[in-house]
């Protein structure tokens, strides 16, 4: 005997709600696995970029050190140039001042200037002209002055003046 007017249909193992939940869970699981894989790949990519950036940073530091060394070298050269330029200017002024010291009556034939002093060769009409017009200014500049005179046939005197120990060059007068 049959209690139903229709034939029984086979019952599905999963009903539609369970299927939807299962599909939702599978999609969610796939999304989580995909997101995890994406994060893992990004992490590996970031690690390789970090290594690359560290190498680049070290390269920049090395270049920075080289630039600093080059700047220091250039600054040293500039200081040397300034010192040489200053010394040349002072030497030019000293030579100009030396020639300004020589009066019109005295003729210089040779002048040698070095760090220790000055040697002058020349001709003067008399020893007194030399002593009053040239020796006095030389004594104010140099610590030691030695002059040797040689008579000429025309009555004038040839002289060699050795002046040492410039006060301006940083040597002080001994007490």
DSSP string, 101-159: HS-TT-EEEEEEE-SSEEEEEEEES-HHHHIIIIIHHHHHHEEEEEEEEEE-TTS-EEE
pTM listed for this prediction: 0.47
Of 142, 133, 131, 135, nearest in space to 103 by CA: 133
Neighbours of 159 (CB within 10 A): 21
Mean pLDDT per 10-residue section of the chain, whose length is 175 residues: 77 83 96 96 94 95 96 96 88 77 84 82 90 83 88 92 69 39
Q: Which pair of tokens denotes residue 75?
A: 């600054």
pLDDT of residue 166: 63
Q: Hey, where are the domains in the chain? A: 47-101, 105-175
């Amino acid at each position: 005997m049959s209690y139903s007017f229709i034939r029984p249909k086979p019952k599905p193992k999963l009903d539609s709600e369970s299927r939807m939940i299962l599909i939702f869970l599978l999609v969610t699981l796939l999304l989580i696995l995909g997101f995890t894989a994406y994060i893992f790949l990004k992490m590996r990519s970031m690690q390789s970029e970090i290594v690359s950036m560290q190498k680049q940073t070290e390269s920049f530091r090395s270049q920075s050190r080289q630039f600093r060394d080059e700047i220091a070298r250039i600054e040293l050269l500039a200081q040397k140039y300034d010192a040489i330029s200053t010394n040349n200017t002072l030497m030019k002024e000293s030579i100009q001042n030396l020639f300004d010291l020589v009066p019109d009556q005295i003729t210089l034939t040779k002048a040698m200037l070095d760090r220790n002093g000055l040697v002058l060769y020349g001709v003067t009409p008399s020893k007194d002209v030399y002593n009053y017009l040239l020796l006095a200014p030389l004594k104010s500049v140099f610590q030691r002055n030695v002059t040797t005179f040689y008579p000429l046939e025309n009555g004038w005197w040839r002289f060699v003046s050795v002046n040492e120990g410039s006060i301006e060059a940083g040597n002080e007068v001994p007490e």
